[in-house]
């Protein structure tokens, strides 16, 4: 039977409530992990401040433009942190044979697996990212209009799809590769480069970060629509398309591996 969006939203809401209840029963762990997430992001904020104490700009990017890019990347990376954190456990379920339990429910396998975990501490990153964006927005004197807000929301969502897609595809390698953790960890570490303008890298890395490992679409290209609305490159306007295409492909790869899964054989 084909399920509609409303059905999955209701199911997800119920799963989310139960998951948050279980996490809040360990409040000390939640508070410590959330504070750790915030402190990590503050460290990134401070590193920008230190750099700009010695340099007026970085490849033409001012302090507040870099701060805007940093905040944009934090917000766009929050969905993968909160909603797709279970990808990190995928390899363990696959190797132990426990993944087989997800294959017998009458709902979408990808949705069922991913919805099981919500990383609530990622909300601390979201709050810090939004605060950084608002602060940089005000300092840059950017206009606050309905069109700008809509653009921001659309491009943040589609930028998020890039990192989600990269993580989905990397996590799915566990269906074929035994030491898949290193693939997932390698891909995830690239997110740190999303906080910087692609123009500071060499032509080789610009090509890699645009067409092979498209982290430039996590913050750089989408943010140009807001920062420089009069000279937006074509790749910025294509960001929503790139995000949707990459997410769809990663979903297909993930599902293909899951459908080929047949347990441990023991």
Q: For 173-211, write each residue's pLDDT tens digit.
A: 999 998 899 999 999 888 888 888 999 899 999 999 999
**How far is 132 from 154, CA to CA, in rounded Å?**
18
**How far is 11 from 114, CA to CA, in rounded Å?**
12
**How far is 219 from 198, CA to CA, in rounded Å?**
10
Count the alpha carbons within 13 Å of 87 in the hemisphere toward its beta carbon: 30
Single out the residue of 204, 210, 206, 220 nearest to residue 242, CA to CA. Answer: 210
- The phi and psi torsions of 58 (rounded to 5 degrees) equal -120, 105
Lowest mean pLDDT among 38-52, 78-92, 99-113, 218-232: 38-52
Domain boundaries, the chain: 5-260
Q: Residue 54 has which token pair?
A: 């010695």
Q: What is each CA distance from 89 to 1, 197, 256, in whole angstroms?
A: 29, 32, 18
**Cβ-proximal residues to 212 (8 Å cutoff; 6+ apart), any chain:** none
Buried/exposed code over 143-167 (b: 16+ C-beta within 10 A; e: otherwise): eeeeeeeeebeebbbbbbbbbbbbb
Higher model confidence: residue 31 or residue 213? 213
Single out the residue of 147, 164, 148 nearest to residue 214, CA to CA. Answer: 164
Higher model confidence: residue 181 or residue 23? 181
Q: Residue 261 has which token pair?
A: 């899964």
Residue 125, number of CB atoms within 10 A of its CB: 21
Q: What is the pLDDT of residues 94-117, one digit of tens each?
A: 999 999 989 888 889 999 999 988
Check whether 264 has a pLDDT greater than 90.
no
Q: What is the pLDDT of residues 73-95, one digit of tens each?
A: 999 999 999 999 999 999 999 99
Q: Are 85 and 16 in contact (CB under 8 A)?
A: no
Q: Are 88 and 234 in contact (CB under 8 A)?
A: no
| Displacement of CA 84 from its chain's centroid (Å) | 9
Q: Which residue in the block uniquely carries the two structure tokens 């920062």? A: 227
């Amino acid at each position: 039977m084909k399920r509609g969006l409303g059905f999955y939203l209701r199911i997800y809401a119920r799963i989310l409530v139960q998951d948050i209840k279980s996490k809040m029963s360990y409040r000390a762990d939640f508070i410590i992990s959330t504070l750790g997430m915030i402190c990590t992001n503050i460290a990134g904020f401070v590193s920008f401040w230190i750099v700009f104490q010695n340099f007026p700009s970085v490849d033409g990017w001012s302090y507040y433009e870099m701060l805007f890019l940093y905040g944009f990347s934090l917000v766009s990376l929050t969905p993968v942190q909160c909603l797709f954190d279970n990808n990190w456990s995928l390899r363990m379920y696959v190797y132990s044979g426990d993944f087989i339990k997800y294959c017998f429910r009458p709902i979408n396998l990808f949705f069922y697996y991913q919805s099981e975990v919500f990383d609530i501490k990622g909300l601390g990153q979201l709050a810090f990212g939004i605060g950084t964006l608002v602060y940089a927005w005000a300092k840059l004197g950017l206009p606050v209009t309905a069109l700008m807000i809509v653009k921001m929301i659309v491009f943040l969502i589609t930028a998020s799809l890039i990192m989600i897609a990269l993580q989905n595809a990397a996590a799915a390698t566990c269906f074929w590769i035994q030491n898949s953790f290193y693939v997932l960890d390698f891909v995830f570490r690239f997110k740190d480069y999303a906080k910087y303008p692609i123009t500071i890298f060499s032509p080789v890395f610009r090509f890699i970060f645009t067409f092979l490992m498209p982290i430039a679409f996590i913050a750089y290209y989408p943010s140009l629509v807001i920062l420089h609305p009069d000279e937006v490159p074509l790749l910025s306007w294509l960001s929503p398309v790139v995000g949707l295409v990459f997410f769809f492909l990663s979903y297909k790869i993930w599902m293909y591996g899951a459908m080929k899964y047949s347990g441990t054989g023991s």
